Every structure is written in structure tokens, then in C-alpha cells.
Amino acid sequence: MGTADGAVLGTTKIVDHGADSARWNLVVMAEGFTAAEQDAFHVAAESFVTKLFTTEPFRRMWCAINVHRVDVRSDESGADEPATCADGGTGAGTTRRTYFDASFCRDGTNRLLYGSEALAVATAAAAVPAVHARVVIVNSTRYGGAGGSAAWFSLAPEAAEIGVHELGHSAFQLADEYGDSIATWSAGEPSEPNVTTVTDRATTKWASRIAAATPLPTQENPGCAAMTTAASPVPAGTVGLFAGGSRAFCGIYHPQHICRMQVLGNEFCAVCKEAISARLRPFLPAFSGPVVGTQFHGTLTARQTARWFTYDWPACWHVLWTVVPTTPVTPTPGVTWKVGVERASRERTTYWLTVTNLTDASLELDGRYEIVART
């Protein structure tokens, strides 16, 4: 099991927002895909990119991120599935010769799915030396995943959602915001940004986000044996202290009634969003000194309005447009213009410039751009 059962085929930068040295680099790797199944991996990788782009705060921070796809061939398809698991779960009882040797039923939990963390780290670093985070997509339709040094997840229908949650663990050090196995937390204040043991209004971890009128703690888990099913005592989106986190029911709190780190399929809470954004913010394109040029020349007859478009501009660039008459016009302004912007795709914009000749004579003009920040 392991590297003898496959090979790294190659690396493709599937989201390119600039030099790896200047961006936050996510590496997406294949596990349990045979040589003939690499196309299916490409589809799964693209699906995950789309999922990430439609998830806040990743959409807002998109221009900070590069994504690299590493095609990895396994000799056999899928992942190991022990026939019985300590938690009572069952599997196909099959082993597969795969590159990262991923298996279900890790640590006695049937849905825990991962392979060699060390090999995932080494493979990502060899492919992309500037790697910041790793995702491994496992070629199985059974529900499973885990978050360690890499985020591992399967092709189950909720797969991309598992991936985003696990990335929360592996790349942004977010804790689970639920209890499931520990009655009362006793390990002291945790390091993760989205769980706390401190119930003092002035000193709790996200104190600045808690309104004075919000009761603290905001909601407890009576009996410390299950997450409460009671409705939130405060309006949706309110930040407070809700019991449950890091797998304990009591003695530890998370920021909002519901968050993706508690239940899949929900938004990240405000505290988790800010933790992710803070990590990504230094990688956003910064002022790079203007690059200027003339995109088009045109002619307008007296009082005419016409529209020009220019396409395939990287959406992450900051571009300003100016239209300047090249025919002398005095003593009044010669033209006015409006800029329309079309988001043609996830990565590209088209600019539409509508220009009006304000004079009673024909005039010529230049359409000029100024790129203030780019990748």
C-alpha cells in the first residue's frame, strides 16, 4: 500500500491569480483514481473549486487564492473499506491498492476517511513548494472525510461540503462547534478562534462581536449529553456564547446558533468567516504601481453616443477607465462616458464603455486604461 501502488502524473494550476509566492496556494490531489479515471478527478476538483467560490468568505477573498490540481494515479479504484468498524458500522470488506492508502473506519469511526497524512504533505510540497493547504479527493461515493494536515473527502453527494468543513480544520485551525462524545470540557481555554471557555462578557474570545443585550451564556445544553434541539433564544445571526464545541457538550462555547463547523450545509458564522479572511487577506493583490495604456481609438459624429467593449480582463485586476478626446474641443467638455462591467465568468470580466460626444462636431477619442493592482 502506498507510493508503490501509483504515481504522481502532473500538476496543473486551475485557478491562477498570480505568482505562487504572492498568493495562498491550495493543492487538490487525487486518491483512488486510476489512470483512466483522471477525467473524473478533474470534474471533482473543478466542482470543489466552484463550491469554494460560492462559499463566503472565500468568494470575497477569491483573488488571494491559487488552486493547483495534482493528478495522482492509483493502481486500483476507491479506498479500503473494513467489513466491520468499532462504532458498529459496516463496509464492503475490500482493500484497494491506492497511492495514499486511504481507508474508511479510521480510529474506529466508519465515516472517518483518510490516508497517509505524511505522504499527502510531501506530495503537495513536491508539486507546489509554496503550498498552504491540501485537499485530497477520494474516489468513493460513500460518505466520509477527515481534517488533519490535509482535508480528505469522498465523492458522496455532500462531498464538497465535507471538504469545505474539513478545510476549516486543516487550513484555518477552526474547531468543531458541536459536542458528540465529551460531557464537559476540562482542558482549559482552546487555541482555536471559534471556541472558548470564557463566559465573561469583557474577556471572552469574540467579545467585540457580542451586543450588550445578548445574554451570556446565550444557550446551554441541559444534561450535557446532547446538543440541544431548542430554538435559538436570539435572532438568527446573533453572536453570543452557545454551548458545545470541540466534541464537548458543556463548558465550552461557539459563537452563533448554527455554523458550518457545527452542521454541514450552513454558512460559516461571523467569527469563522473573520478567521478565514484574516488568514487570506495578506495574499490579496496589492497596489502594484499603475500600468497604463490605450485600449481603443474611436470616432463619434456630432452628439453621437456609441458603445465599445473589451473582454477577457482578469476579474482580480483593479482597472480604471478614462475616455479622452484627441480632437481639440473648447471651451466645453468633449465627451462623457459610463463604464459597464460584465462578470463573464468566475475569472474574467468584460468592460463596456458607453461614450457620448457632447459637441456639434465630429471628434476622435482614446479609450485608456489604468491597471492599479494586478496579479
Closest separation in Å from C-beta 334 to Zn ion: 55
Closest separation in Å from C-beta 194 to Zn ion: 4
**Total site size for Zn ion, rule CB under 5 A:** 5
d(CA 339, CA 123): 45
Which range of residues in 46-54, 189-197, 203-211, 240-248 is near Zn ion by CB under 5 A? Answer: 189-197
Closest separation in Å from C-beta 261 to Zn ion: 4
Query: Of residues 157-176, which lie at the interface with Zn ion (CB under 5 A)?
Result: none
Closest separation in Å from C-beta 272 to Zn ion: 3
Which CB sits closer to Zn ion, 75 or 267? 267
Which CB sits closer to Zn ion, 105 or 239? 239
Closest separation in Å from C-beta 20 to Zn ion: 29
According to the binding rule CB under 5 A, does residue 194 interact with Zn ion? yes
Query: Of residues 233-272, which lie at the interface with Zn ion (CB under 5 A)?
Result: 259, 261, 269, 272
Closest separation in Å from C-beta 243 to Zn ion: 14
Report H helices in 56-175. 117-127, 159-170
**Amino acid at position 191, single letter:** S
d(CA 350, CA 67): 23
**Under 8 Å between Cβ of 103 and 117:** no
d(CA 347, CA 49): 12
Site string for Zn ion, 269-308 (x = CB under 5 A): x--x------------------------------------
Which CB sits closer to Zn ion, 172 or 317? 172
For 29, other C-beta atoms within 10 Å of its C-beta total: 28
**128, three cell numbers:** 507546489
Q: Please tell me what DSSP assigns to residue 100.
A: S
Which CB sits closer to Zn ion, 27 or 259? 259
Closest separation in Å from C-beta 209 to Zn ion: 11
Within 8 A by CB and 6+ apart from 271, the residues are 193, 194, 205, 206, 209, 239, 255, 256
d(CA 175, CA 193): 8
- What DSSP letter does each residue of 15-75 carry, written as one string? E--S-GGGSEEEEEEEES--GGGHHHHHHHHHHHHHHHHTSTTTTTTGGGEEEEEEEEEES
Closest separation in Å from C-beta 214 to Zn ion: 16
Which CB sits closer to Zn ion, 31 or 192? 192
d(CA 13, CA 24): 13
Choose among 210, 208, 212: nearest CA to 238: 210
Which CB sits closer to Zn ion, 216 or 371? 216
Closest separation in Å from C-beta 162 to Zn ion: 16
Residue 179 CA, distance from chain mean position: 25
Which CB sits closer to Zn ion, 269 or 323? 269
d(CA 24, CA 225): 40
Which CB sits closer to Zn ion, 124 or 259? 259
Query: Of residues 31-90, which lie at the interface with Zn ion (CB under 5 A)?
Result: none
Which CB sits closer to Zn ion, 110 or 194? 194
Give residues in contact with Zn ion (CB under 5 A). 194, 259, 261, 269, 272
